[in-house]
Amino acid sequence: MREPDATEPDATEPDATEPDALFSDPRLAELYDAIEGDRSDLDTYVAIADALGATSVLDIGSGTGTLACRLALGGTDVVGVEPAAASIEVARTKPGADRVRWIHGIAAALPDVAPELAADLATMTANVAQVFTTDEAWAANLAGIARSLRPGGHLAFETRVPARRAWVRWNPADSRSVTDVEGHGAIAAWHELVEVDLPLVTFRSTIRWQASGEELISTSTLRFRERDESDATLAAAGFRVGDVRDSPDRPGLEWVFVAQRSA
Protein backbone atom coordinates (compact mmCIF):
# COMPACT_ATOMS: atom_id res chain seq x y z
CA MET A 1 0.00 0.00 0.00
CA ARG A 2 1.33 3.42 -0.93
CA GLU A 3 1.82 6.12 1.68
CA PRO A 4 -1.25 8.39 1.82
CA ASP A 5 -0.78 11.93 0.50
CA ALA A 6 -2.30 15.20 1.49
CA THR A 7 -4.67 16.72 -1.04
CA GLU A 8 -2.53 17.76 -3.97
CA PRO A 9 -2.54 21.07 -5.86
CA ASP A 10 -5.02 21.88 -8.57
CA ALA A 11 -4.96 19.59 -11.61
CA THR A 12 -7.16 21.96 -13.55
CA GLU A 13 -7.05 23.74 -16.88
CA PRO A 14 -8.18 27.32 -17.63
CA ASP A 15 -11.19 26.13 -19.65
CA ALA A 16 -12.22 23.36 -17.24
CA THR A 17 -15.92 23.42 -16.41
CA GLU A 18 -16.63 24.60 -12.88
CA PRO A 19 -18.25 21.91 -10.72
CA ASP A 20 -21.92 22.35 -9.88
CA ALA A 21 -22.84 23.97 -6.58
CA LEU A 22 -24.23 20.65 -5.38
CA PHE A 23 -20.61 19.49 -5.08
CA SER A 24 -18.66 22.74 -4.69
CA ASP A 25 -20.78 24.59 -2.11
CA PRO A 26 -19.58 23.36 1.32
CA ARG A 27 -23.10 23.34 2.78
CA LEU A 28 -24.48 21.27 -0.08
CA ALA A 29 -21.48 18.93 -0.25
CA GLU A 30 -21.99 18.17 3.44
CA LEU A 31 -25.57 17.08 2.73
CA TYR A 32 -24.88 15.13 -0.45
CA ASP A 33 -24.45 11.65 1.03
CA ALA A 34 -27.53 11.89 3.24
CA ILE A 35 -29.74 13.10 0.38
CA GLU A 36 -28.30 10.65 -2.15
CA GLY A 37 -29.02 7.73 0.18
CA ASP A 38 -28.40 4.18 -0.96
CA ARG A 39 -25.24 3.74 -3.07
CA SER A 40 -25.71 0.13 -4.10
CA ASP A 41 -24.91 1.35 -7.64
CA LEU A 42 -21.25 1.29 -6.59
CA ASP A 43 -21.38 -2.50 -6.16
CA THR A 44 -21.03 -2.72 -9.95
CA TYR A 45 -17.66 -0.97 -9.87
CA VAL A 46 -16.35 -2.98 -6.95
CA ALA A 47 -17.32 -6.14 -8.84
CA ILE A 48 -15.58 -4.88 -12.01
CA ALA A 49 -12.41 -4.09 -10.05
CA ASP A 50 -12.50 -7.56 -8.48
CA ALA A 51 -13.12 -9.31 -11.80
CA LEU A 52 -10.21 -7.47 -13.43
CA GLY A 53 -7.91 -8.10 -10.47
CA ALA A 54 -7.29 -4.34 -10.26
CA THR A 55 -4.89 -3.44 -7.45
CA SER A 56 -4.84 0.27 -8.34
CA VAL A 57 -7.89 2.38 -9.22
CA LEU A 58 -8.22 5.94 -10.47
CA ASP A 59 -11.63 7.29 -9.44
CA ILE A 60 -12.48 10.22 -11.71
CA GLY A 61 -14.99 12.66 -10.26
CA SER A 62 -14.67 10.94 -6.90
CA GLY A 63 -17.12 13.34 -5.25
CA THR A 64 -17.50 12.76 -1.54
CA GLY A 65 -15.28 9.69 -1.77
CA THR A 66 -17.72 6.85 -1.14
CA LEU A 67 -16.27 4.50 -3.77
CA ALA A 68 -12.66 5.58 -3.27
CA CYS A 69 -12.78 4.97 0.48
CA ARG A 70 -14.61 1.67 0.07
CA LEU A 71 -11.97 0.36 -2.33
CA ALA A 72 -9.12 1.66 -0.18
CA LEU A 73 -10.50 -0.10 2.90
CA GLY A 74 -10.43 -3.31 0.86
CA GLY A 75 -6.71 -2.89 0.19
CA THR A 76 -6.82 -1.25 -3.24
CA ASP A 77 -4.39 1.56 -4.06
CA VAL A 78 -6.76 4.44 -4.91
CA VAL A 79 -6.35 7.91 -6.39
CA GLY A 80 -9.44 10.12 -6.18
CA VAL A 81 -9.64 13.00 -8.67
CA GLU A 82 -12.29 15.63 -7.97
CA PRO A 83 -12.71 19.26 -9.19
CA ALA A 84 -14.83 20.35 -6.19
CA ALA A 85 -12.66 21.07 -3.15
CA ALA A 86 -15.69 21.01 -0.84
CA SER A 87 -16.45 17.42 -1.84
CA ILE A 88 -12.86 16.38 -1.14
CA GLU A 89 -13.12 17.90 2.34
CA VAL A 90 -16.18 15.74 3.02
CA ALA A 91 -14.41 12.70 1.58
CA ARG A 92 -11.43 13.17 3.88
CA THR A 93 -13.65 12.68 6.96
CA LYS A 94 -14.61 9.10 5.97
CA PRO A 95 -13.07 5.82 7.14
CA GLY A 96 -10.33 4.83 4.72
CA ALA A 97 -9.77 8.39 3.45
CA ASP A 98 -6.23 8.43 4.82
CA ARG A 99 -5.40 5.55 2.46
CA VAL A 100 -6.52 7.50 -0.63
CA ARG A 101 -4.40 9.92 -2.63
CA TRP A 102 -6.66 12.91 -3.30
CA ILE A 103 -6.05 15.17 -6.29
CA HIS A 104 -8.07 18.37 -6.65
CA GLY A 105 -8.70 18.74 -10.36
CA ILE A 106 -9.70 17.04 -13.60
CA ALA A 107 -8.50 13.99 -15.50
CA ALA A 108 -7.38 16.01 -18.53
CA ALA A 109 -4.58 17.59 -16.48
CA LEU A 110 -3.35 14.38 -14.81
CA PRO A 111 -0.51 13.65 -17.26
CA ASP A 112 1.09 16.96 -16.25
CA VAL A 113 0.26 16.87 -12.54
CA ALA A 114 0.82 13.17 -11.84
CA PRO A 115 2.72 11.69 -14.82
CA GLU A 116 3.74 8.66 -12.75
CA LEU A 117 0.20 7.28 -12.60
CA ALA A 118 -0.29 3.85 -14.19
CA ALA A 119 -3.56 2.54 -12.74
CA ASP A 120 -5.14 -0.80 -13.54
CA LEU A 121 -8.66 0.66 -13.68
CA ALA A 122 -10.28 4.08 -13.98
CA THR A 123 -13.91 4.63 -12.95
CA MET A 124 -16.51 7.31 -13.56
CA THR A 125 -19.65 6.62 -11.55
CA ALA A 126 -23.07 8.31 -11.46
CA ASN A 127 -23.26 11.41 -13.73
CA VAL A 128 -19.52 11.95 -14.13
CA ALA A 129 -19.20 10.84 -17.76
CA GLN A 130 -22.13 13.07 -18.74
CA VAL A 131 -20.83 16.35 -17.27
CA PHE A 132 -18.43 16.75 -20.22
CA THR A 133 -20.80 18.60 -22.51
CA THR A 134 -18.45 19.46 -25.38
CA ASP A 135 -16.58 17.11 -27.70
CA GLU A 136 -13.32 18.81 -26.75
CA ALA A 137 -13.79 18.38 -22.98
CA TRP A 138 -14.81 14.73 -23.35
CA ALA A 139 -11.85 13.94 -25.62
CA ALA A 140 -9.43 15.67 -23.23
CA ASN A 141 -10.89 13.72 -20.31
CA LEU A 142 -10.49 10.39 -22.10
CA ALA A 143 -6.96 11.28 -23.21
CA GLY A 144 -5.96 12.16 -19.65
CA ILE A 145 -7.40 8.90 -18.36
CA ALA A 146 -5.68 6.84 -21.07
CA ARG A 147 -2.31 8.34 -20.20
CA SER A 148 -2.91 7.63 -16.51
CA LEU A 149 -3.64 3.93 -17.05
CA ARG A 150 -1.06 1.24 -17.59
CA PRO A 151 -1.02 -0.30 -21.08
CA GLY A 152 -3.90 -2.76 -21.12
CA GLY A 153 -5.62 -0.99 -18.22
CA HIS A 154 -9.39 -0.54 -18.16
CA LEU A 155 -11.97 2.24 -17.95
CA ALA A 156 -15.47 1.66 -16.55
CA PHE A 157 -18.21 4.28 -16.60
CA GLU A 158 -21.97 4.63 -16.88
CA THR A 159 -24.17 6.88 -18.96
CA ARG A 160 -27.94 7.14 -19.27
CA VAL A 161 -29.71 5.72 -22.33
CA PRO A 162 -31.09 8.75 -24.22
CA ALA A 163 -34.14 6.87 -25.51
CA ARG A 164 -35.35 6.32 -21.94
CA ARG A 165 -35.66 10.11 -21.41
CA ALA A 166 -34.69 10.18 -17.74
CA TRP A 167 -35.35 13.93 -17.67
CA VAL A 168 -39.11 13.38 -17.86
CA ARG A 169 -39.06 12.59 -14.14
CA TRP A 170 -36.93 15.58 -13.22
CA ASN A 171 -39.82 17.54 -11.79
CA PRO A 172 -40.82 18.38 -8.20
CA ALA A 173 -43.66 15.85 -8.05
CA ASP A 174 -41.59 12.85 -9.14
CA SER A 175 -38.21 13.75 -7.65
CA ARG A 176 -39.01 15.33 -4.28
CA SER A 177 -37.61 13.68 -1.17
CA VAL A 178 -37.39 14.67 2.50
CA THR A 179 -34.50 13.40 4.60
CA ASP A 180 -33.76 13.94 8.29
CA VAL A 181 -30.11 14.95 8.52
CA GLU A 182 -28.32 15.13 11.84
CA GLY A 183 -27.55 18.73 12.73
CA HIS A 184 -29.81 20.06 9.99
CA GLY A 185 -33.25 18.59 10.59
CA ALA A 186 -35.58 17.81 7.70
CA ILE A 187 -34.05 18.56 4.29
CA ALA A 188 -36.23 18.56 1.18
CA ALA A 189 -34.68 18.09 -2.26
CA TRP A 190 -36.11 18.06 -5.78
CA HIS A 191 -35.22 18.61 -9.44
CA GLU A 192 -36.82 20.84 -12.06
CA LEU A 193 -36.22 20.52 -15.79
CA VAL A 194 -34.89 23.75 -17.32
CA GLU A 195 -34.18 22.89 -20.97
CA VAL A 196 -33.92 19.93 -23.31
CA ASP A 197 -31.73 20.66 -26.34
CA LEU A 198 -30.42 17.20 -27.16
CA PRO A 199 -27.87 15.94 -26.61
CA LEU A 200 -27.84 18.45 -23.72
CA VAL A 201 -30.31 18.51 -20.83
CA THR A 202 -30.25 21.21 -18.16
CA PHE A 203 -31.99 20.93 -14.80
CA ARG A 204 -32.07 22.73 -11.47
CA SER A 205 -31.72 21.02 -8.07
CA THR A 206 -33.20 22.71 -5.01
CA ILE A 207 -32.20 21.89 -1.42
CA ARG A 208 -34.53 23.30 1.24
CA TRP A 209 -34.10 23.41 5.02
CA GLN A 210 -37.65 22.75 6.14
CA ALA A 211 -37.32 24.47 9.53
CA SER A 212 -36.02 27.79 8.21
CA GLY A 213 -37.29 27.70 4.65
CA GLU A 214 -33.82 28.53 3.36
CA GLU A 215 -33.08 27.18 -0.13
CA LEU A 216 -29.88 26.61 -2.09
CA ILE A 217 -30.01 25.92 -5.82
CA SER A 218 -27.60 24.08 -8.12
CA THR A 219 -27.92 24.06 -11.92
CA SER A 220 -26.52 21.16 -13.94
CA THR A 221 -26.19 20.29 -17.63
CA LEU A 222 -25.61 16.70 -18.78
CA ARG A 223 -24.83 15.30 -22.21
CA PHE A 224 -26.77 12.23 -23.33
CA ARG A 225 -24.52 10.30 -25.74
CA GLU A 226 -25.84 7.56 -27.95
CA ARG A 227 -24.02 4.26 -27.68
CA ASP A 228 -22.32 4.58 -31.07
CA GLU A 229 -21.00 8.03 -30.11
CA SER A 230 -19.46 6.64 -26.93
CA ASP A 231 -17.96 3.76 -28.92
CA ALA A 232 -16.43 6.15 -31.45
CA THR A 233 -14.98 8.56 -28.91
CA LEU A 234 -13.49 5.72 -26.88
CA ALA A 235 -11.87 4.28 -30.00
CA ALA A 236 -10.44 7.70 -30.90
CA ALA A 237 -8.86 7.87 -27.44
CA GLY A 238 -7.22 4.48 -27.84
CA PHE A 239 -9.74 2.29 -26.03
CA ARG A 240 -11.38 -0.92 -27.17
CA VAL A 241 -14.88 -1.51 -25.82
CA GLY A 242 -14.99 -5.01 -24.38
CA ASP A 243 -18.36 -4.96 -22.66
CA VAL A 244 -21.47 -2.79 -22.43
CA ARG A 245 -23.75 -4.05 -19.71
CA ASP A 246 -27.03 -3.04 -18.13
CA SER A 247 -26.92 -1.09 -14.91
CA PRO A 248 -28.24 -3.41 -12.17
CA ASP A 249 -29.61 -0.60 -10.01
CA ARG A 250 -31.40 1.10 -12.94
CA PRO A 251 -32.06 -1.72 -15.42
CA GLY A 252 -32.76 -0.57 -18.94
CA LEU A 253 -31.97 3.05 -18.08
CA GLU A 254 -28.17 3.11 -18.23
CA TRP A 255 -25.25 1.56 -20.06
CA VAL A 256 -22.12 0.57 -18.16
CA PHE A 257 -19.11 0.59 -20.47
CA VAL A 258 -15.96 -1.42 -19.77
CA ALA A 259 -13.18 -0.52 -22.20
CA GLN A 260 -9.52 -1.44 -22.38
CA ARG A 261 -6.64 0.86 -23.21
CA SER A 262 -4.57 -0.31 -26.14
CA ALA A 263 -1.33 -1.97 -25.14
DSSP the chain: -PPP-PPEEEE--TTPPPPPHHHHSHHHHHHHHHHH---GGGHHHHHHHHHHT-SEEEEET-TTSHHHHHHHHTT-EEEEEES-HHHHHHHTTSTTGGGEEEEEE-GGGHHHH-TT--EEEEEE-TTGGGS--SHHHHHHHHHHHHHTEEEEEEEEEEEE-GGG-GGGG-SHHHH-EEEEETTTEEEEEEEEEEEEETTEEEEEEEEEETTT--EEEEEEEEE---HHHHHHHHHHTTEEEEEEEE-TTSTTTEEEEEEEE--
What is the chain's pLDDT, residue by residue, as a tens digit (263 residues)?
334 444 554 554 433 457 998 899 999 999 999 999 989 999 999 999 999 999 999 999 999 999 999 999 999 999 999 999 999 999 999 999 999 999 999 999 999 999 999 999 999 999 999 999 999 999 999 999 999 999 999 999 999 999 999 999 999 999 999 999 999 999 999 999 999 999 999 999 999 999 999 999 999 999 999 999 999 999 999 999 999 999 888 899 999 999 999 98
- How far apart CA 56 and CA 154 sit, in angstroms, is 11
- pLDDT at position 7 is 52
- pLDDT at position 250 is 85
Is the peptide bond prior to 4 cis by the omega test (within 30 degrees of 0)?
no
Contact 122, 156 (CB under 8 A): yes
Domain ranges of the chain: 8-161+226-261, 164-221
- pLDDT at position 4 is 41
- pLDDT at position 117 is 98
Q: What is the dihedral of CA 46, 51, 234, 36, to 10 degrees?
A: -10
- How far apart CA 154 and CA 54 sit, in angstroms, is 9
Say whether pTM exceeds 0.85. Answer: yes
Residue 229 CB neighbour total at 10 angstroms: 16
The dotted CATH code for 8-161+226-261 is: 3.40.50.150
SS (H, E, C) 172-194: HHHHCEEEEECCCEEEEEEEEEE
- How far apart CA 143 and CA 259 sit, in angstroms, is 13
- Please tell me the number of Cα atoms within 13 Å of 221 on its side-chain side: 11
